[in-house]
Amino acid sequence: MVNDGRASKIFRSERVRRAQPVEVADRLALNSRLDGTIHTLSSAVKRALPPGRLRNLLHGVPFGHPVHAPLTDVPIGAWTSVAFLDLIPGTRRASQTLIAAGLAGAIPTALTGLTDWSSLHREQQRVGLIHAVSTATATTFYAASLIARKRGRDLDGKILSYAGLTALITGAYLGGHLAFRQAAGANHAESINHLVPLGWHDLGSIEDLPDGWPVARMLGYISLFVLRIDNAVYVMTDRCAHLAGPLHQGRVVEIDDEACVVCPWHGSTFRVADGSVVDGPATGSQPAFDTRILEDGTVQVRPV
């Protein structure tokens, strides 16, 4: 290949494009160097937080969506305000109060984030680990800043705060990447009902459905979870609301006398009658369908 001036210009412009922050974050998602650490840490979090009330609360199940993202507003809001207050004379006490408020808010923020992170895909966990390291670094800088300010070393305190802000912005960017580019925390089943035309649709004969054993059935190009129990048929979207796992491959269990399905990927548990969440990490209900059985045994479904 001839190494003329034009070729070297193309090479330079490509280097500039690849240096974009989003490219760096995308490369982080593909870097497997920390996978051993990720496996050890996420297993430890799952062991410490078995399925149940506390874990559901930390995921945000009672609120219907993850609570980690809204909680980040407390430290980010408090510490960003400090950056402006530090430029104004006579705001010493206000800055100290806001740093302390941010530190208090960082505790539930970290706990909820760690809980959500333990049940993500590996690519999301790689970005999430660096996000956590960045925000933990920011928290350490702000704690050191508060100590310095309390000891009367205000200039040191301000320098430490600005160092913390730099780490905080890095962590916030990666958090945004996780939520909006990698769709961690988003509901992965919400759009499905909108893709099914209104009204009743044939799904096949009840005789073709195994009793007590979930199967997948296609409605157009939409995959549905179908469970027959005696003469009742329950139908939900097959893509798990958490991260789109195939629910028809999950275990059917009975909880409080109600049939539920446990997602094979991260254990979210849904009542098959209405798709409501029993256990997270999913926080949004699984879209369920109305069903009816015609006299000839044809099962019909329609979006609720």
- List interacting residues with ligand FES (CB under 6 A): 240, 242-245, 263, 265-268, 281-282
Minimum Å gap between C-beta 212 and ligand FES is 21
Nearest approach, Cβ of residue 145 and ligand FES (Å): 38
247 CB neighbour count, 10 Å cutoff: 29
Nearer to ligand FES, 120 or 148 (CB): 120
| H helix intervals, 86-212 | 92-117, 122-150, 154-176, 192-195
- In angstroms, what is the minimal distance from the CB of 282 to ligand FES? 6
Assigned token pair, 127: 């970005």
Q: How far is the CB of 265 from ligand FES (least distance, A)?
A: 4
Q: Which is nearer to ligand FES, 268 or 285 (CB)?
A: 268
Residue 83 has phi, psi (to 5 degrees) of -60, -35
Inter-CA distances, 127 with 23, 88, 131, Å: 12, 36, 6
Task: Find out whether 28 and 127 touch, Cβ atoms under 8 Å.
Answer: yes
Distance spanning both ends of the chain, measured CA to CA: 62
52 dihedral zone (left: phi>0; alpha: psi -120 to 50; beta)? left
d(CA 285, CA 276): 5
CB nearer to ligand FES: pick between 237 and 268: 268
Q: How many CB atoms lie within 10 A of CB 12?
A: 8
Q: Which residue number, 219 or 262, has a Cβ lying nearer to ligand FES?
A: 262
Residue 79 or residue 270: which is nearer to ligand FES going by CB? 270
Residue 26 to residues 16, 20, 50, Cα–Cα distance (Å): 15, 10, 31
Task: Please list, in sequence order, all residues whose beta carbon lies within 8 angstroms of the beta carbon of residue 55, skipping any fewer than 6 positions away.
Answer: 49, 115, 279, 280
Rounded least distance, CB 292 to ligand FES, Å: 28
How are strands ordered across the β-sheet holding 277-279? Answer: 251-255, 258-262, 269-271, 277-279
Give 129 or 240: the residue with its C-beta nearer to ligand FES.
240
Question: What is the smallest separation between the CB atom of 194 and ligand FES, expressed in angstroms?
Answer: 20
Nearer to ligand FES, 284 or 303 (CB): 284
Q: How far is the CB of 247 from ligand FES (least distance, A)?
A: 7
